[in-house]
Structure formats: C-alpha cells, structure tokens
Structure 1
Amino acid sequence: MDKEVSGPRVVVGVDGSTASYAALRWAVRYAGLVGGTVDAVAAWELPGLYSWSAPAVDVDVDVEDARQRMQQELTDVLGADAAGSIRTHVAHGNAADVLLRAAEGAEVLVVGSRGRGGFTRALLGSVSQHVSHHADCPVVIVRPEPS
C-alpha cells in the first residue's frame, strides 16, 4: 500500500458490517475536514488455515474480484462521487494485523465497534479492541447508527 500521500491519511476498516459502514462515513467526513485522503482496508482470513487442525483447503481468492466488490460496496454506502475518491486495499491476513500495518504513519485509524462475527452483545469486537491497544496513531471506534 502506498503510504506516501500529501495531507493526512485516514485509514478505515471495512468488513460489510453496519458498524464498519458507520466508520466509513465518519472517516470520509473527517478526511473532508482535515483535507485528508481515505484508505479503506478489507482483510480476509480463513479460520484455522494456519493451525494443525485445518482441513486441506485449496484457497484461490480472486483479489481483483474482491477489490471490485469492495468498490461496489463503497459506492452503495457513500454514492459514486465519494466512493471514487477513496483508495481501496484488500489484503489476506488477520484483520487487526492488516489494519495496524495499513495505519502506520496515518493521521487516524477508524473502525466499527463490532464486526460481522463473534458475540453480538459484546461492547467491542476483537479487532476494534486489539487495534485500540496497539495502533501507533489515534483510533476512533464508531458505533453503528441506530436503525
């Protein structure tokens, strides 16, 4: 990922959850206020892929297809004009680790309070909790907007 941009860089994690969409909208508004750019980051990891108990799986993820689907998702959430100004990054790996690497040198890292999995009643998801403790930049955790 190209981290050399002029102006502040705002990194936001997007995973398809309502909270990540709220985080995306927050990141776009903030970047507009500070004259920054937005890097939307999505990560995928197959559970158990690296453990001894992982089944033999032939994993062939089409990264270009994933980027196109992410771009469509950004367009659906923000509209075509706003989505067109966002840089997208799709990476394989643990979501928290991918976001922490992406946020190196960033003005701020923005994540939703809860992702797609896990315990729905928990206050914070594991990724938002992890990055809040380990990021080298400020972290904003955005709760989903009320239905």
Structure 2
Amino acid sequence: MGGARGWEGRTPGCRPRRRHGERGERSVVPRPVVVGVDGSPSALAAVVAAAQEARMREARLHVVHAFIWPAMHVPPGGSPLGPPAGGVQESVGQLLAEAVERALATAPEVVVDHAVVAGEAVTALEAESRTAQLMVVGHRGSGGFAGLLLGSTSVHLAAHSHCPVMVVRDRPTKDGPVLVAVDGTPHSRGAIAFAFDEASMLGTDLVALHVWGTWSDHGDTRPVDLLDLVGDVENLQAHEERLLDEALSGHREEHPGVTVHARVVRGRTRPTLIEASRGAQLMVVGARGRGGFTGLLLGSVSQVVLHHAHCPVTVVRPGQR
C-alpha cells in the first residue's frame, strides 16, 4: 500500500442486500465494486459504469482517489494569501463530490462511499482490488499525454489486480452483446465465466469468439497464413469448433437464459477482435492466451484490445471471476 487513508465518507442509500445460503448459514455482504477517479472525463465515465455494475451486483460502490502531497509544504487548506476555497483538500473534495453525484444519478439505490488514499494511484488501487469484486477505471487519466490511448494505471491494474478490471471508454454504448474472447487455454476460463455472468445480469446475448490460424506478419509485407502450406484446413476448423464448444460447456447450463452465439473465425486474432468489438457493449478477455511468455502478466492480445477496442474491456486473470 502506498500510505494511509485520508478523508473518507459515506453517502446514504439502500443497504446492499445480504445473500443467504441454501441452508440458512450466515449471510455474506457482497464485496464492493471499486472505481478510481481523478476528475477526468474518462474517470467520470468509469463512475457511471461502476454504479451500474454495483446495482446489478447488489453491492456498494467504493469511490477512490489516490493522492500524493506536493513535495513543497503546501497546507491542505490553501495558502493564507489565496482564495478561501483554493486548497488541495477543497479541490479533492469537489472531485469526489462530483463522482458521488454522478454515481447516485446513475443508480440512486446503491450505497456509495468514498476515500482519499495517500500514495501512487497504481499502488493504491491494486491494494483496493484485494477486497473488491470488480475494479473499474477510465482508459485515460487526467495526467495522460496527448495522443496516448491508454493510461499507465489501466495497464498496470489489468496485469496486477486481484480482481477483474474493467477499463471504460469515454462513451460506452448500452446496446449490443457481451463479447468474450475464447482461446481454449485455462487463461480464458475466468473470462468465460465472467462474461456469462455479465450477459445474464445485463439481459443481453453473449458472443463467444474464437479466432484461430497461424500467421506470419512481418512489417509492411502482406501477412501469410501458414496453414495454406500445411493443408487439412477442414479438420483443423472442426477441431477448433470442438475446442470452443468444450470451453462453453457447463456455462450454458448454468445460465440457460443467456443466448450464446459461438463464432469460430480463421484469421488474425487482434484485428478480428477489435473489429468485433464495434457492435459490443463489453469485451471480456483473459490476461494471457496462447503463445504467452512465461511470467508475462498481460499478453499482447489483451494489451492491444485495451488500447484499440471500441467498447469497454474487462480483463480477467486466471482464478478470477
């Protein structure tokens, strides 16, 4: 953790419902949905998405702002020579108030609390993820460089968070299905489970997309499908279709109300997923896939869709749901 907590608060609302077991055992309060805010438009879009997730999950929403005090000794209440409301504490308070107001306007029945955490944003939010069921952040923060598609905080959390991380674009759509990338490896199992849950809560369809093929792509040259040199493409296609069906088995039974569209596409993984994201309201991917380097926490495909997808992206690491 990057330091101690600072100002904290709680906004009244309906209490999160307690979930009871089948045999009447002790009730359990759902873990919170956590959203990181910094005052940027991207962060406010993340607040809206986080409030909707908290409502669907019957959980409270925890709004977090990570803050590092300036190196110079600036009083939190502002300089005696400056305006009475010009201090750092007042600015942070306004930032949090705007985020809480946006959350309650989106989901007034959700309990919203907030806190200022002293430390680096990536360190503070990673620590918050230990007790969260979902972490939501904007794709760019207020300190992002012009032209940078994705902030460093988003990338770090996707690789290191202890719970699934949703990265939200400025204008997420409310239409379309949930899209999940399936590669047939254990790394995508958590993503598949998360995507089925999300589609069920949203009341929308699920598109399970499996892209396969062995491609050689060097610079500006035209990519070559090496399978053309191998042959027996039809049998390989049938094998990939079975692989997708096996990956989805069990989840269909658990979510009978979710309409599933299983798609097997022979092509290049990254551009195919990016194009498919145009019609989705959410894409779900595993942190790593086929061909990932040992020890690499975030695969190249996951990084590319985080940068270029046309909808919010949730990254689910192995063992998470």
In the superposition, the TM-score normalised over structure 2's length comes to 0.39
For 1:64 and 1:17, how far apart are their aligned partners in 2? 17
How many residue pairs are counted as aligned between the two chains? 139
Distance 1:86 1:55, change over 3 A: closer
Match of 2:247 among 57, 61, 73: 73
Shift of 1:108: 0.5
Compared with structure 1, are the counterparts of its residues 74 and 55 closer, same or farther at alpha carbon in structure 2 (3 Å cutoff)? closer
Aligned positions of 1:32-47 closer than 5 A: 32-47=200-215
Query: Which residue does 1:15 correspond to in 2?
Result: 183
Change (3 A) 1:16 1:133: same
Deviation at 1:99, TM superposition (A): 1.1
Alpha-carbon distance, 1:79 to partner: 5.2
Higher relative contact order (Cα pairs below 8 Å, separated by 6+ residues): 1
Q: Is 2:197 the counterpart of 1:29?
A: yes
Q: Quick one: distance in 1 between partners of 2:265 and 2:228?
A: 22
Match of 1:48 among 209, 216, 223: 216
Partner of residue 60 from structure 1, selected from 206, 214, 233: 233
**1:48–1:54 contact (8 Å) kept in structure 2:** no
Quote the residue 1:138 is aligned against: 312
Take 1:134 and 1:70, find their aligned partners in 2: how far apart are those partners? 25
How do 1:78-93 and structure 2 match up within 5 A?
A: 78=251, 80=253, 82=255, 85-93=259-267
Residue 97 of structure 1: how far off its partner (Å): 1.3
For structure 2, the 5+ residue unaligned runs are 1-174, 218-222
Give me the whole-angstrom Cα distance separating, in 2, the residues matched to 1:21 and 1:66: 16
Superposition RMSD in Å: 2.8
1:43–1:93 Cα contact (<8 Å) kept: yes
Return the letter of the residue paired with 2:301. V
Q: Which runs of 5+ in 1 are unaligned?
A: 1-6
What's the CA shift string for 1:6-63, capped at 9, x where partnerless?
A: x641000001122211001000101111111110000112143845x99943252344
